[in-house]
Amino acid sequence: MNNFNTKLIFFFFGLVSSSLFHISIASIVSTGDFNKDFFVIWSPNHVNTSDDGKTRSLKLDQESGAGFASNQMFLFGQIDMQIKLVPGDSAGTVLAFYLTSDQPNRDEIDLEFLGNVSGQPYILQTNIYADGFDNREERIFLWFDPTKDFHTYSVLWNLHQIVFMVDTIPIRVYRNHADKGVAFPRWQPMSLKATLWNGDSWATRGGQDKIDWKNGPFIASFRNYKIDACVWKGNPRFCRAASSTNWWNQFNFSSLTSIQRRWFKWVRKYHMIYDYCQDNERFQNNLPKECSLPKY
């Protein structure tokens, strides 16, 4: 696909995206201030927040990584975060942005950005834990340089599906097939976390490329986040209802639109590099049940 066609497609998508993604001011529970909505969970001296609380960065060096987590827990909604990834030779680093229930049989919705050797494309790995089990990894090459500017990474999580998005483009769908015996995160509330850490035992080329500490410190930056979700108050009934506030549970968001499906297929055709549902060797020709079920 040449650059001219790509620009035309993205221009068209920008014109129609406002009709695809609902925004309900009444359901937005974040303030836009990292100091008010999050707390530091790891290495405060490696977390830097602007005076107005609107931007935050995490630092990784030989001493430590860092992380922060939301003050609230949520059951369904949409999470958006603008992130600028670690620039330069970031091999071995992992930036994780995820929802987790932190229970022994935890549910978790993961985006993990795997550092690269300079000049190589960044890998985004997604994974889903349901009832304590994962092994649902997918990997894509991002189609832009995520270190040059901020890009928006999102998760839509509702009763029907989990949709991972990059700049509003759906890159992965995990459908609720609980009625067919497939585990789906639908009961446990989750908090939102971001961490930057040393993953050089596995992150880049299976651990072959280690962190070169001479290139540190490694810094990832965050801004313009939005948490449009149901705050957990102890009763799942309120979060599972379809209402004007819980817009994500409405029928319009139960599946991808036709335009979203086209973008989803484009990502999988041109940018996907690993799909657990195609790894017969790993699962000894006994792929997980959801692999044979529809995504929308």
**Distance between CA 179 and CA 186 in Å, rounded?**
12
Q: How deeply is 240 buried, as exposed, middle or buried, from its count of CB atoms within 10 A (0-12, 13-18, 19+)?
A: middle
Task: Pick the catalytic residue from 112, 137, 138, 281.
Answer: 112
- Nearest 5°: the CA angle 202, 191, 115 is 25
Tokens, residue 222: 């965050």
- DSSP E strand stretches across 176-279: 191-198, 218-231, 272-275
Is residue 112 part of the annotated active site? The answer reads: yes
Is residue 281 part of the annotated active site? The answer reads: no
**Distance between CA 156 and CA 97 in Å, rounded?**
14
Print burial letters for 249-272: b (CB count within 10 Å at least 16), e (below 16): beeebbbbbeebeebbebbbeebe
Tokens, residue 154: 């999102």
What SS3 class is residue 59? strand
Task: Pick the catalytic residue from 63, 108, 138, 290.
Answer: 108
What SS3 class is residue 8? helix
Catalytic residue list: 108, 112
